[in-house]
């Protein structure tokens, strides 16, 4: 039998092909690139200045930081109860069926920013294109096995999915990859839990966490054991041994439901205080302006720049959760309130929308909404759509909206042209440099409701409190001191005109032309 000689060059070519393909990802995967999450700015572009006011919360938050570079001994998810406290190393996963790969990567980069804000280290991310996520393991059985190899090679101890997983998907994927698996909702809830400061904020976050946890309870070992009453001993004999009894996981469910009922009652108890504050503003006819927008778009920085409120400013997602309300004035003397609200994010968990509905009421009850957009974000159009969807859900779709493209000092002129196409009437501003702040204030002043009546009044000198009230609650256009008393002309509401009573010498309706002249 004659043997065919083997060419040495063919062997060399085969080895080169194997080595060249060794570093490539498996078929069906797109490996998430390295680099900082695009939802966060570079460190050199962040920070606050003396115009922000005193930020004592910033020092408190920076005072405690976890130490990176520590590995974990966790090799199986069932050991999670005995694991020591570590800085978690995570791998991100996502499945996309529609849209481009760039859109999917933007969503995964935002998930990376969420994970970094929660205190984790992102090692890598993996995207898979398929028509629908696998109903069992989300990634598909074969790809889940490959994911287990990636997790083991990187030394990760957590996998985060860029969607909300069903409880069965989470358990099945954990059984395959042998590490903890969580979803996007769990990460957002964890961030909210870390950053909530007020009693109401903590109660809202706890309620959202319990609503998320209830269908995902999982028992290990003695958690599935059953209770028994009567004279039942360790051997399981005697009276009271009839019936299956109640498992510990059922007891946990009942306790969670009881706690949720208490939290809902507690949140209802906060409502009268909020309503009293709003009623006081309405009674004094103080207009309100709500600052809404995507998380980390610079809402708190903008509030600090205008009012020196001293609200915490940090290059992190959901840095501030509690609504902050400050009083300020227009250049013509009209008083209004400026409220900083909680930020939004794509795929915002419905538990948070419901739990923070009381905070979002500041948006629904406002007279003007200042919609802040991060001009430096790679996908500002999706930010605008996400925020407007949430505003519509809370009933604020018909309120006057002023779009502000913040962080304009980080974008080029070409990017400004693109942003102008998204919103022709938008204002380019920078809370860091002060660009566009005056234009924002002018636009707010034009959009605020004006008094409906122009009056002329002669107020006796012994009724000086009426003149003081006009300066506080109305727009005084002219004032003169005569022998009979103080002659004043002002733009007022019907209620204030009624309080002046017989001192009013002339009144007429306020028209748009007269407002422009004033």
pLDDT tens per residue across span 305-329: 888 766 666 666 776 666 778 888 8
Tell me what pLDDT residue 161 has.
Answer: 92
What pLDDT score does 132 carry?
86
Using only C-alpha atoms, what is the Rg of the chain?
Answer: 30
167 or 4, higher pLDDT: 167
Name the helix (H) or strand (E) containing 94: strand 89-96
% residues pLDDT > 70 (the chain) = 69
Residues 6+ away with beta carbon under 8 Å from 207: 260, 263, 264, 267, 351, 355
Out of 169-173, 200-204, 247-251, the most confident range is 169-173
Stretch 95-110: mean pLDDT? 81
3-state SS assignment for residue 465:
helix
Task: Report how far residue 479's alpha carbon sits from residue 199's, in angstroms, rounded to the nearest whole number.
Answer: 47
Name residue, tokens 């990859």. 177
Which pLDDT belongs to residue 84? Answer: 47
Select, from the ranges 58-62, 63-67, 511-515, the one with the highest average predicted confidence (pLDDT): 58-62
Give me the sign of the Cα torsion angle 418, 424, 426, 430.
Answer: positive
**Closest CA relative to residue 377, chosen from 411, 343, 345:** 411
Can you spell out the DSSP letters for 212-271?
A: HHGGG----GGGG-B---TT--TT--STT--S---BHHHHHHHHHHHHHHHHHHHHHHHH
The predicted pLDDT at position 299 comes to: 83
Among 116, 71, 68, CA closest to 92: 116
Element (H, E) at 118: helix 101-118
pLDDT tens track for 410-453:
888 888 899 999 889 999 998 888 888 999 999 998 888 777 78
User: Encoding tokens for residue 338?
Assistant: 């400026």
Band of residue 260 on the pLDDT scale cut at 50, 70, 90: very high
Q: Which residue has the tokens 């769990």?
A: 186
Residue 357 tokens, joined: 């509905």
Reported as a pLDDT band with limits 50, 70 and 90, residue 38 is low
pLDDT tens per residue, range 327-346: 888 887 778 888 887 788 87
Q: Percent of the chain, pLDDT > 90?
A: 9
pLDDT band at 402 (very low <50, low <70, confident <90, very high): very high
Three-state DSSP class for residue 125:
strand
DSSP 292-327: EEBTTSSHHHHHHHHH-------SSTT---S-EEEE
Q: Is the dihedral of CA 195, 197, 201, 203 positive or negative?
A: positive
- Whose structure tokens read 């007022």? 492
How high is the pLDDT of residue 496? 81
Interacting residues of 120 by C-beta distance below 8 A, sequence separation 6+: 87, 88, 89, 90, 158
Residues 57-68 have a mean pLDDT of 54
All domains of the chain, ordered by start, with CATH?
A: 85-195 (3.40.50.11060), 198-220+251-284 (no CATH), 285-447 (3.40.50.300), 453-509 (3.30.70)
| 92-94-96 Cα angle (round to 5) | 160
Output the DSSP codes for 369-427.
EEEEEETTSS-HHHHHHHHHHHHHHTT-TTSEEEEEEE-GGGS-HHHHHHHHHH-TT-E
Q: Which of 154, 143, 197 is nearest to 179 (CA)?
A: 154
pLDDT value for 71: 47
Mean pLDDT of 259-265: 92
> Binning pLDDT at 50, 70 and 90, where does residue 257 land?
very high
Least confident span in 60-74, 246-260, 327-341: 60-74
Between 63 and 497, where is the model more confident?
497
User: Looking at residues 88-107, what average pLDDT do you find?
Assistant: 83
Cα–Cα distance, 161 to 141 (Å, whole number):
16
pLDDT one-digit tens code per residue, 352-386:
776 666 667 778 888 899 999 989 888 888 889 88
Q: What is the mean pLDDT of the chain?
A: 76
**CA 189 – CA 170 distance, rounded (Å):** 17
Query: Mean of the pLDDT values across residues 284-312?
Result: 80
At residue 44, the pLDDT reads: 46
Name the band, by pLDDT with cuts 50, 70 and 90, for residue 1: very low
- Please, is 186 exposed, middle or buried when counting C-beta atoms within 10 Å of its C-beta (0-12, 13-18, 19+)? buried
The pLDDT confidence band at residue 81, using thresholds 50, 70 and 90, is: very low
Q: Please state, in angstroms and rounded to a whole number, the distance separating the CA atoms of residues 60 and 57.
A: 5
Confidence of residue 280 (pLDDT cuts 50, 70, 90): low
What is the reported pLDDT for 428? 93
User: What's the confidence (pLDDT) of residue 58?
Assistant: 56
Please write the tens of the pLDDT for every residue from 486-496.
999 888 877 78
The pLDDT of residue 258: 93
What lies within 8 Å, CB to CB, of 356 at 6+ separation is 204, 208, 321, 342
Range with the largest mean pLDDT of 1-10, 161-170, 230-239, 507-516: 161-170
């Amino acid at each position: 039998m004659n043997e065919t000689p083997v060419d040495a060059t063919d062997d060399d070519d085969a080895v080169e092909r194997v080595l060249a393909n060794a570093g490539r990802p498996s078929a069906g995967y797109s490996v998430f690139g390295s680099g900082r999450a695009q939802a966060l700015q570079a460190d050199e572009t962040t920070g606050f200045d003396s115009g922000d006011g005193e930020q004592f919360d910033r020092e408190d938050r920076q005072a405690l930081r976890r130490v990176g570079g520590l590995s974990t001994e966790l090799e199986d998810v069932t050991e999670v109860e005995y694991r020591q406290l570590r800085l978690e190393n995570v791998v991100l996963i996502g499945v996309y069926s529609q849209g481009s790969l760039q859109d999917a990567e933007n969503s995964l980069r935002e998930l990376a920013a969420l994970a970094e804000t929660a205190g984790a280290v992102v090692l890598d991310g993996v995207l898979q294109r398929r028509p629908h996520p696998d109903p069992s393991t989300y990634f598909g059985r074969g790809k889940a096995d490959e994911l287990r190899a990636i997790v083991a090679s990187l030394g990760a101890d957590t996998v985060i999915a860029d969607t909300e997983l069903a409880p069965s998907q989470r358990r099945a994927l954990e059984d395959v990859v042998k590490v903890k698996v969580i979803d996007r909702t769990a990460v957002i809830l964890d961030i909210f839990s870390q950053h909530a400061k007020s009693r109401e904020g903590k109660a809202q976050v706890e309620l959202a966490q319990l609503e998320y946890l209830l269908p995902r309870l999982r028992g290990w070992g003695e958690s599935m054991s059953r209770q028994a009453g009567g004279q039942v001993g360790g051997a399981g004999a005697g009276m009271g041994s009839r019936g299956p009894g109640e498992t510990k996981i059922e007891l946990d469910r009942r306790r969670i439901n009881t706690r949720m009922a208490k939290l809902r009652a507690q949140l209802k108890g906060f409502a009268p205080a909020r309503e009293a504050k709003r009623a006081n503003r309405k009674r004094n006819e103080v207009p309100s302006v709500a600052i809404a927008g995507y998380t980390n778009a610079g809402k708190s920085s903008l509030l600090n720049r205008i009012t020196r409120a001293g609200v915490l400013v940090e290059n992190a997602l959901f840095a501030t959760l509690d609504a902050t309300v400050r009083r300020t004035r227009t250049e013509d003397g009209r008083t209004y309130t400026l409220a900083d609200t909680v930020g939004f994010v794509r795929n915002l968990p419905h538990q948070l929308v419901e739990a923070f509905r009381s905070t979002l009421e500041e948006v629904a009850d406002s007279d003007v909404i200042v919609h802040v957009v991060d001009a430096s974000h790679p996908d500002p159009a999706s930010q605008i759509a996400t925020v407007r969807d949430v505003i519509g859900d809370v009933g604020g779709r018909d309120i006057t909206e002023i779009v502000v493209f913040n962080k304009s000092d980080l974008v080029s002129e070409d990017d400004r042209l693109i942003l102008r196409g998204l919103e022709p009437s938008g204002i380019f501003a920078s809370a860091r440099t002060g660009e566009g702040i005056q234009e924002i204030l002018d636009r707010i002043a034009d959009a605020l409701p004006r008094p409906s009546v122009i009056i002329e009044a002669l107020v006796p000198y012994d009724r000086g409190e009426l003149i003081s009230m006009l300066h506080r609650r109305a727009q005084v256009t002219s004032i003169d001191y005569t022998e009979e008393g103080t002659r004043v002309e002002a733009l007022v509401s019907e209620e204030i005109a009624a309080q002046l009573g017989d001192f009013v010498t002339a009144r007429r309706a306020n028209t748009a032309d007269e407002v422009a002249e004033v």
